Structure 1
């Protein structure tokens, strides 16, 4: 089982995501999240999926697209670091990605399939890694971090946004 990163291994602005992750098998948690996302959103209408809880906020579709895009980026970073690439990896502007995302043009079913495909790919990468690869450190968003940190960020970021979906989008 992958051990949770220590506080000193994580840039302070990422700590909240790591703290979201429960003490359980990370791979099993990531597998369960696919069913959780589909269960949470799979029966929504297109109108419900286009909902924005306030002016200027992302649609529910954009939130799902954001979760998926962020996982793609974090998985790429994880791959680079696990393979020993020391090239500093840039940050990304999440708002720019959301504005330029095709999420609002896609059907909810397409977005759910995309999320599941990305998660399957992420899990495939996880299953390839040896213990020492998880501990390799690189630089992303201007901060040092290990492949293990990125694995926990993937899970914690999803947990964070799923809570927002429940609290702000599905309470109506």
Structure 2
């Protein structure tokens, strides 16, 4: 298994159905509680375990997921209010070195839960026309909102798998 991508990379073959979108939104909805259940009660030393050599530790993973999903939420709002906006990527690895990543993970968990409450309300209200709206990613090109829902459902599961691997490495 490639520990960088323990669940594989995001793949979508064929058209995205309404049922698939609903499943992805449900996965996004459940993510905060899943992360909380994995990390609650961990000691500071346990939070520093990594899923692979050179990989992020559990605390960094929690902060990253909150930051990444905050960026995605904003990208959705931009795509819904502007015509195919060009979004700004960010240096995730550099963000992980900033002082807020040293804060207790509860701060990121609170942020993640709040973002997801707002995001899921927005996602569940999107019309078929709105799901077709796009943004332009400088590296990935045009991304539709419906595809981005799938990407972020995958992203959450991807990092949940990293946290699980890091927890297993503690044995």
Normalised by the length of structure 1, the TM-score is: 0.78
Name the SS for the 1:29 alignment partner.
helix
Q: Which residue of 2 aligns with 1:133?
A: 130
Q: Does 1:17 align with 2:15?
A: no
Aligned to 1:79: 77
C-alpha change, 1:27 and 1:87, in structure 2 (3 Å) is closer
CA, structure 1 residues 86+50, in 2 after alignment: closer, same or farther (shift >3 Å)?
A: same
Aligned partner of 2:37 in structure 1 is: 39
Q: Which residue of 1 aligns with 2:105?
A: 108
Give ranges in structure 1 of 5+ residues lacking alignment.
Answer: 1-14
3-state SS, counterpart of residue 51 of structure 1: coil
Encode CA deviations 1:59-100: one digit per residue, 9 max, x unaligned.
211111111111111121122112343331122211111112
- Provide the rounded CA distance (Å) in 1 between the counterparts of 2:54 and 2:26: 35
Aligned-partner Cα distance in 2 for 1:55–1:18? 26
Closer/same/farther in 2, CA of residues 50 and 144 from structure 1, 3 Å limit: same
Q: Give the conservation status (yes or no) of the 8 Å contact 2:69–2:115.
A: yes
2:121 — aligned with what?
124
Gap change, CA 1:53 and 1:35, over 3 Å in 2: closer
Distance 2:147 2:41 in 1: 33
Q: How far apart, CA to CA, are the structure 2 residues paired with 1:97 and 1:156?
A: 21
Change in CA separation of 1:65 and 1:123 when aligned onto 2, cut-off 3 Å: same
Which one of the candidate residues 140, 144, 149 is aligned to 1:146?
144
TM-score, structure 2 normalization: 0.78
Shift of 1:101: 5.1
